[in-house]
Amino acid sequence: MSTTEVTEQKLSRTKIVDLMRDSGGKFMTILWTKTNGEIRLMNCKVAKGTNLTKMGYLPVTETKTKSLKNVDPRTIKSLKLSGVVYKATAK
């Protein structure tokens, strides 16, 4: 039986968004607060070359439903990408 070690790092939300945008379409898990106050955990991916929308949201494709979702980068709590968990630091 093998165990997978998960690395955890603290990063600013700006750096987390940069990691998401530069992920090259890799699958990731994000934890953020929706506009209605609900905390949401979602598996998704960001298409190559994706930028923030004019309203400042990051468009992602939810893996389960294959639907487009807009994530407010200011409410991201954590990101898991390539086996590393990035926790957002408070400003």
Comparing CA positions, the residue from 10, 18, 21, 14 lying closest to residue 46 is 21
Ordered strands of the 7-11 beta sheet:
7-11, 84-88, 76-81, 27-33, 39-45, 58-62, 68-71
pLDDT in tens, 64-90: 999 999 999 999 999 999 999 999 997
Question: Is 2 a residue whose pLDDT tops 60?
Answer: no
- Is residue 79 within 8 A of residue 29, CB to CB? The reply is yes
- pTM score, whole prediction: 0.85
- Per residue in 35-58, pLDDT tens? 999 999 999 999 777 888 888 899
Q: What is the CA radius of gyration of the chain?
A: 13
